C-alpha cells in the first residue's frame, strides 16, 4: 500500500487543531494510506500540546521536536521523518477541502508530474473593507490546471519523494527566517529534472489575520517575493553583471509602470490600485537582489 506523508511545520498556533481536523476528513483513495507529521518548531512544545489536545485522531499523527524557530529546519524534519513515497505540505493556519488529496493525485498522474501545486484561498476577517477583499492581496494565482512552472510553494503541494531523497535535497536553513525557502527548494528540484505543474481544483483555505493586511506587511511580502524570485532566476548572483542587466532593466521598467498605474487608479478603484502597487513592490524586490542585501525577514 502506498503512503502519503502530510507534513506540517508549526509553532503551535491554535489553528493547528482545525488543520488536523480537516486532514482527518479528507477522502483517501483505495490502496492509499496517509500519515501526518507535525514538526514542532516551538521550543516550548506548543505544537505537541495542540496535537495532544485534539487526540485521538482518526489518522496517524506523529510529532517531531525541532524548536529551532526556523521554518526550513522544521520542514526538513518532516522530510526526514516521512515514511511515504509521496509527500504533501500544508501550513498550520490552513484547512483543506475533502477532495483536496484526490485532486492533487489526479493532476500528478494525468500530467505525469513529480510535483503538483494547488491554490490557497485567504479568508479575510470580518470588517475587512470590500475594496481590499476584492483586491485579494494575499492570494497568489498560479494559473490553470496543467500549467508547467519552474518553482512552487509549500502551503499546498504534493510531490514524489524519490528524486528529493536521491539528491538529498532539503530546504535551505539560511532562508528559514526570511521566507522564500520553498520557492528555492522547488526551483532546485525543477532544475534537477522534476516536472512541476499547477492544478486549480485542489483547494485549501487559510486565515488572513488583520496584521497581514497592513500596507507595511503587504509591501514587505511583495518585495520579499520579488527578491526571492530574482535570487533563483539569477542563480543567486548579486549585482548588475552582464547576465542580470537585462533582467533588472525589465524589473525597473515594470516597477515604474506599476507605481504610475497605482497612482492614477487610486481615485477610481482602490482594488486595482493595490494590484498594481503589489506588482511594483514585487519588481522593487527583484531590483533589491542587485544590491547584495539579504532577503527581508518575514518570520
Range of the domain at 272: 214-291
By the 10 Å C-beta count (0-12 exposed, 13-18 middle, 19+ buried), 99 is classed as middle
Number of domains in the chain: 2
Same domain, 81 and 182: yes
Specify whether 120 is located in the same domain as 218: no
CB 159 within 8 A of CB 114: yes
In a domain, residue 129? The reply is yes
DSSP per position, 76-107: HHHHHH--SSEEEEE-TTEEE-TTHHHHHHHH
| 229 within domain boundaries | yes
Report phi then psi at 172, rounded to 5.
-80, 115
Cα 158 from Cα 104, distance rounded (Å): 7
Same domain flag for 68 and 185: yes
Q: pLDDT, tens digit, for every residue of 54-98?
A: 989 999 999 999 999 999 999 999 999 999 999 999 999 999 999
Is residue 75, in this structure, part of any structural domain at all? yes
> Residues 191, 52: one domain?
yes
pLDDT per residue as tens digits for the range 104-155: 999 999 999 999 999 999 999 999 999 999 999 999 999 999 999 999 999 9
Residue 225 and residue 176 share a domain: no
| Co-location of 154 and 26 in the same domain | yes
Q: CA-CA distance, 251 to 254, in Å (whole number)?
A: 5
- Asked if residue 241 has pLDDT above 80, the reply is no
Whether the link from the prior residue into 129 is cis, omega within 30° of 0, is: no
Confirm whether 298 is domain-assigned.
Answer: no
Please indicate, yes or no, whether residues 82 and 229 belong to a single structural domain of this protein. no
* 53: CATH: 3.90.550.10
Last residue of a domain, one of 194, 211, 228: 211
* Final residue of a structural domain among 211, 241, 263: 211
Which pLDDT score is estimated for 104?
98
- The set of cell numbers assigned to 246 is 537585462
pLDDT at 242 (0 to 100): 55
Asked if residue 299 belongs to a domain, the reply is no
Q: Are residues 233 and 206 part of one domain?
A: no
Amino acid at each position: 500500500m502506498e503512503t502519503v506523508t502530510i507534513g506540517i511545520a508549526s509553532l503551535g498556533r491554535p489553528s493547528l487543531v482545525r488543520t488536523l481536523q480537516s486532514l482527518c476528513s479528507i477522502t483517501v483513495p483505495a490502496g492509499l494510506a496517509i500519515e501526518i507529521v507535525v514538526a514542532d518548531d516551538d521550543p516550548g512544545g506548543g505544537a505537541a500540546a495542540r496535537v495532544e489536545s485534539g487526540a485521538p485522531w482518526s489518522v496517524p499523527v506523529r510529532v517531531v521536536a525541532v524548536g529551532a524557530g526556523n521554518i526550513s529546519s522544521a520542514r526538513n524534519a518532516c522530510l526526514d521523518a516521512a515514511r511515504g513515497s509521496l509527500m504533501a505540505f500544508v501550513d498550520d493556519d490552513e484547512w483543506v477541502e475533502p477532495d483536496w488529496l484526490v485532486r492533487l493525485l489526479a493532476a500528478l498522474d494525468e500530467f505525469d508530474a513529480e510535483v503538483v501545486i494547488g491554490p490557497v484561498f485567504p479568508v479575510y476577517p470580518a470588517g475587512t473593507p470590500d475594496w481590499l477583499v476584492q483586491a485579494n492581496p494575499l492570494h497568489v494565482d498560479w494559473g490553470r490546471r496543467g500549467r508547467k512552472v519552474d518553482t512552487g510553494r509549500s502551503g499546498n503541494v504534493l510531490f514524489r519523494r524519490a528524486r528529493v531523497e536521491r539528491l538529498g535535497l532539503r530546504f535551505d536553513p539560511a532562508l528559514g527566517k526570511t521566507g522564500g525557502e520553498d520557492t528555492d527548494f522547488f526551483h532546485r528540484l525543477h532544475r534537477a529534472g522534476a516536472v512541476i505543474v499547477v492544478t486549480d481544483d485542489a483547494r485549501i483555505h487559510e486565515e488572513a489575520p488583520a496584521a497581514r493586511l497592513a500596507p507595511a506587511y503587504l509591501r514587505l511580502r511583495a518585495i520579499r517575493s520579488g527578491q526571492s524570485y530574482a535570487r533563483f532566476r539569477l542563480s543567486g548572483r548579486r549585482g548588475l553583471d552582464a547576465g542580470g542587466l537585462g533582467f533588472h532593466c525589465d524589473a525597473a521598467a515594470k516597477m515604474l509602470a506599476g507605481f504610475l498605474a497605482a497612482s492614477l487608479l487610486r481615485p477610481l478603484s482602490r482594488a486595482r490600485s493595490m494590484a498594481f502597487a503589489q506588482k511594483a513592490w514585487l519588481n522593487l524586490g527583484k531590483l533589491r537582489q542587485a544590491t547584495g542585501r539579504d532577503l527581508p525577514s518575514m518570520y
